[in-house]
Structure 1
Amino acid sequence: MKQLDDFYLKQEEPVKGMFFALKEIILKQDSEITHVLKYGMPFFCYKGKMFCYLWTHKKHKQPYIGIVEGKYFDESFLLQEARSRMKIMLFNPDEDLPLEQIEKVIEKALDLYKSGIVKV
C-alpha cells in the first residue's frame, strides 16, 4: 500500500488534491471497488477486474480518469485518442471537478461489469 500512497503524495498541487478527491469519489461508488497499483498507476477494480485508473496526460499535462471499457461509452467529453479500448476524461486542475459527470461515468462503467457485458 505504501507505493500506492506514494503515488498520490508525489503529485504536485492542485493535481494531488484532484487525485485524492477522485480516489474518494470512485471508492464510494460501490463497496466491491478495490484500489491497487498496477503499471505504476492507481487502478480501481470491481471484483478484481480493472475498470478505471488515474493518470496525467503527457501532452495536455492534465489529470484524468481512464475508463478501461471506454469503447462502450459515447459521451462527448470522453476522449479516445489512439486507444482502441479505453477512453479518458480530462480535468482542468484550475476548475472544480464535474462531480455529477464523474459519478455517472463511474456508475456506467460499473454497470457494464454488473450486467455481464464485461466478464468479472
Structure 2
Amino acid sequence: MNPIQEYFYRIEEPDRSTLLFLRRKILESDTENITETLSFGLPFFKYKKKMLCYFYFSKKHQKHYVSFYHGDKLDHPLLLQEGRKKFKILLIDMNEDLPLQLILEFIDEVKKHIK
C-alpha cells in the first residue's frame, strides 16, 4: 500500500468510505490538472502543482474536514476560518448527506485564485 492509501485505511468506517468517495470525486473533477500528494502526513490535492485543499480531522469538532487554500477569499456560512490566515475549513458531518456539489464549487472557486 502506498502512503496515501495507508492514511485512508487508518480511518474507521463509515468515515473512510465517505472520504474515499470524496477523494475520487475531487480527482475526477479535473483529471488533467488535479493531483494528489502526501504532505505533512495528510492527503493534499494540488491544482497545476499548487496547493488546492486537503483532508484532516478536527479534534476540537470531532469531525473530518476539507481545508481549502485561498479559503480567505471564499465567503460561505459553512466555512470556518478559526484563526487560519489562508485556509478555511468545511466540516464533514458523517450523519448527513455529503455536500459534494458545494465542495466542488469551492474547488472551482479556489482554482480561479491559483496563478
TM-score (norm 1): 0.89
Q: Partner of 1:27 in structure 2?
A: 27
Flag as ranges the 4+ runs of structure 1 deviating above 6 A. none
What's the C-alpha RMSD, in Å, of the aligned pairs? 1.2
**Contact 2:42/2:54 (<8 A) preserved:** yes
**Structure 2 spans left out of the alignment, 5+ residues:** none
Task: Name stretches of at least 5 consecutive residues in structure 1 with no aligned partner.
Answer: 114-118
Deviation per CA, 1:30-81, whole angstroms, max 9, x where unpaired? 1210000000000000111111001111111111110011011111111000
Whose strand fraction is larger, Structure 1's or Structure 2's? 2
The separation in 1 between residues aligned to 2:96 and 2:14, in whole angstroms, is: 10
Query: Is the contact between residue 22 and residue 100 of structure 2 (CA under 8 Å) also seen in structure 1?
Result: no
For residues 112 and 26 of structure 1, what CA distance do their matches in structure 2 show?
A: 17
Q: Is 1:38–2:42 an aligned residue pair?
A: no
How many percent identity over aligned positions? 38
Q: Equivalents in 2 of 1:112, 1:41: separation in Å?
A: 22
The answer on whether the counterparts of 1:29 and 1:106 sit within 8 Å (CA) in structure 2 is no
